Amino acid sequence: MNIVITPKPLAGRVVIPPSKSISHRALICAALSKGESEITGVLECEDIDATTDALTALGAEIRTENGVTYVKGIENTPSYAEINCHESGSTLRFMMPVCAALGVETVFTGAGKLPTRPITPYLDQFPKHGVEFVSDTFPYHIKGKLNAGVYPVTGDISSQFITGLMFAMPLLEGASSIVLTSPLQSKPYADITVNCMRSFGIETLEINGNYNIKGVQHYTPAKFTVEGDCSQAAFFAVANELGSNIELVGVNKNSVQGDRAVFNIIDSTISINGSYSGFDIDASDIPDLVPVLTVLACFAEGTSHIRGCKRLRIKESDRLVSISTVLNSLGADVRIVNDELEINGVKELSGGVCSSFNDHRIAMSLAVASQRCTSPLTITGAECVAKSYPTFFEDFRALGGEYDVVIV
């Protein structure tokens, strides 16, 4: 599906969708609880469907009625399961330790770029703690039951490995520790995990950047509400800086979500007569914001630098390449310098045809950039937004955005 957008500013009120990160975590905690939990505001998207299907394969019962998702926890785990993670790296990296902790022999399949996304910490640590990789290439096949102990893990690939181990460790027979061998990037996502697990009765102890978790803990059912997703709010917040007038509803600017940083970044720019200054940031903790912040930087006065972008190369696309390629094709001045972006501001972009690279955050960032284009902008493969924000273009239109859909 291609979207052809007529450039214009947006205006109106948008309800920010629930956090995908929190939705994943709440569903997993609820499924590991004995009894029924009620979760209000679970995001509906392809990635969350993947996690829901994975938990159902393990024996959880999940249904949604009137905006509330009821999760009856796993009672009898199967001896064997096949889990299709689709394109969700979160589902794969969260569920692999959970299945190992439950002792479920599991085959993990998926699609898109998922087979290329690394699981190095698990390949290293699982065999040392009782779990065999029957297949250590995609599709992955694990067998055995995870043992308690010390897990040295690098922190510079993805915090998702930390979260996956956190989910598993309370289920083990003894105390365990996650010892970081390099600084943890995207730490706010680990903080989300700690907060969510606490809501379901699990305690973790962070000491000097490492995580200590007692075994034989019990997840307990809870009533839980998923707050708005700061990473999705970022698209409309940046649109406002480019000239739109959008009221964002349902976002907590004091959230534990690291992506709340978008509001501080925007506030830090100095606006004068409709223009604003460039910025210099480290995106190590906020990788999901980089595509739309690159759009913001395109129209800033002077030069902006976005640093700490190494892990963007292993997302749904190589986002350093994809965002620079599409914006430069429209007349932007974006340079990749090692694993950083250097952006020289311009006044406007031309229209044209841009690939989404089958990456939801690239597609939505382009839609935001369209309001500063001088002619229509076509985004190919725009259906990829279903991965995290299926109603994005509906909300875009409700705010006055004009576009035509071309089915190819």
Task: Just list the catalytic residues.
Answer: 288
Instruction: Decide: residue 347, CB within 10 A, 0-12 exposed, 13-18 middle, 19+ buried.
Output: exposed
Angle 266-271-277 from CA coordinates, rounded to 5°: 70
- DSSP H or E run through 272: strand 271-272
**Contact by Cβ (8 Å): 306, 290:** yes
Q: Is the dihedral of CA 255, 260, 264, 267 positive or negative?
A: negative
| Pairing verdict, β 105-109 and 80-84 | parallel
| Pairing verdict, β 210-213 and 150-153 | unpaired
Residues 294 and 342: their CA atoms lie apart, in Å, by 9
| Pairing verdict, β 140-144 and 131-135 | antiparallel
| Closest C-alpha among 81, 74, 69, 85 to residue 35 | 74
Residues 132 and 247: their CA atoms lie apart, in Å, by 51
Report the residue count for the chain.
408
**Contact by Cβ (8 Å): 380, 17:** no
**Contact by Cβ (8 Å): 222, 229:** no
Residues 20 and 37: their CA atoms lie apart, in Å, by 18
Instruction: Decide: residue 189, CB within 10 A, 0-12 exposed, 13-18 middle, 19+ buried.
Output: buried
Residues 49 and 28: their CA atoms lie apart, in Å, by 12
Residues 136 and 142: their CA atoms lie apart, in Å, by 8
β-bridge partners, 18:
228
